[in-house]
Amino acid sequence: MKYLDEFRDSEKAQTLTKAIEQIAKKLEPKLTRPLQLMEFCGGHTHTIFRYGIEQMLPDNIEMVHGPGCPVCVLPRGRVDVGVNLAERPEVIFTTFGDAMRVPGSRKSLLQAKAEGADIRMIYSPIDALNLARQNPEREVIFFGLGFETTMPSTALTVLQAEREGITNFSLFCNHVTTAPTIKAVLDSPDMRLDGFLAPGHVAMVIGERPFDFIVKDYAKPLVITGFEPLDILHSLWMLLQQFESNRCEVENQYSRIVSPDGNTPGLEAMNKVFENRDFFELRGLGSIDHSGACIKESYAAYDVERKFAVPNMQIADPKSCQCGEVVTGVIKPWDCKIFGSKCNPENPVGALMVSSEGACAAYYNNGYREAKVA
């Protein structure tokens, strides 16, 4: 299968793992603890677990699984708003699949659906627009989720709705932005990260420059990474080479998809429709300044928060939740007091257990319940 199999070649994997071992050995005398490298993006977490990559790495390299899973960081309050909207009889509430499982303070969208709310799973915001066209007497709401990766398609859908004069379509915008989120991780106390694998599909949209602040202001090297297992090994090798030669740069491993300036038409659509919020809450990380996207005044007619009087509900996670510490590398999932017991995939308490790409869910679903694994 083109563009997949070449990047899953086991012989090349062996070459890369040997090269990684060699550099790791050279770095060993300089280290006081294992290197902690964060892959920010949930898609990368998924690849690492699916291919068993962490077990292929030497002991002095540890992966820390970051908060770049837009489902995981969706705050309970926003889910409650979504459920309230979905329960209105005139509304058809459309959402991506994974978001349906996120628990709010009363229920998840999946539970609301079981109780009769008209909630439909779609694969693309254009599906929501189609529903609006087919159901002119209903209000079709699209639950817009994702980092910058999915923002262009949402923006283009709003622009399409405007072109066609569709008025019964609106967007419940929960898009989040990558740079402020990484900054929040870097600013947290006890943060112990040494370098980053940066999200390749976010970079495909926004380009390389938005990551510069990480190397300039925080002196952490960064490699923009693709999603196949060889991409991950390749990026780790590039990152280690930076450590070895005392460089601190933004490098682009995913150059077959990512160009330095990003995707211009995508960015243009985004800039037309969206602007940064003053702040947005991310579950597990708290309120982050200038983060998250909201809809510009010129597109207010498509903004659910203006169309309906949407309250700003902030609902804190239980005190037992230690997601913030896991996400910044301070503790591992199994160190969390409620990991696997009160908090598990069937009954997720915190952000990182909710989606299959959250760190805790990834560990749990792949059988890593405690520190030592056979």
Interacting residues with another protein (CB under 8 A): 1, 4, 8, 10, 13-14, 17, 43, 46, 49-53, 55-56, 70-71, 96-101, 121, 123, 145-147, 149-150, 201, 229, 344-346, 356-357, 365-368, 373-374
Report how many helices (DSSP H) and strands (DSSP E) the chain contains, helices first.
15, 13
Which of 122/330 has CB closer to another protein?
122
- C-beta of 97: minimal distance to another protein in Å? 3
Q: Would you say 45 or 252 has its CB closer to another protein?
A: 45
User: H helices of the chain, where?
Assistant: 10-27, 42-50, 76-86, 109-114, 125-134, 151-164, 178-187, 200-206, 212-218, 229-244, 264-273, 304-307, 323-327, 351-354, 359-365
- Least Å from the CB of residue 10 to another protein: 4
Dist. CA 37–CA 236, nearest whole Å: 9
Q: Which is nearer to another protein, 96 or 243 (CB)?
A: 96
* Shortest Å distance, C-beta 193 to another protein: 23
Task: Using the minimum distance from each CB to another protein, give the nearer residue, 53 or 215.
Answer: 53
Smallest separation, CB 150 to another protein (Å) = 5
Find residue 93's DSSP bridge partners. Answer: 119, 141
**Which residue's CB is nearer to another protein, number 52 or number 311?**
52
Question: Measured from the CB atom, is 137 or 346 closer to another protein?
Answer: 346
Encode burial over 144-164: b for 16+ CB neighbours within 10 A, e otherwise. bbbbbbbbbebbbbbbebbee
∠ Cα 80 348 362 (to 5°)? 125
- In the β-sheet with 139-146, what is the strand arrangement from edge to edge? 119-121, 91-95, 139-146, 169-175
Burial 81-113 (b: 16+ CB within 10 A, else e): bbbbbbbeeebbbbbbebbbbbbbeebbbbbbb
Question: What is the residue type of 146?
Answer: G
The token pair at 159 is 């622009």
Q: At what angle do helices 10-27 and 229-244 cross, to 10 degrees?
A: 20
Radius of gyration of the chain (CA): 21
Q: Measured between alpha carbons, how far is residue 122 from residues 88, 100, 101, 114 in Å?
A: 19, 11, 14, 17
Tokens of 292: 């998250």
Q: Which of 158/361 has CB closer to another protein? A: 361
Cα separation, 57 vs 60, in Å, equals: 8
- As measured in angstroms, the least distance from the Cβ of 122 to another protein is 8
In this complex, which beta carbon is closest to another protein, that of residue 10 or of residue 264? 10
Q: How far is the CB of 64 from another protein (least distance, A)?
A: 19
Q: What is the nearest approach in angstroms of another protein to the Cβ of residue 215?
A: 25
CB of 65 to another protein, least distance (A): 15
Residue 178 or 253: the one with the smaller Cβ distance to another protein is 178
SS3 53: coil
* All residues at 6 or more sequence positions from 59 whose CB lies less than 8 Å from its CB, including other chains: 34
In angstroms, give the least distance from the CB of 187 to another protein: 25
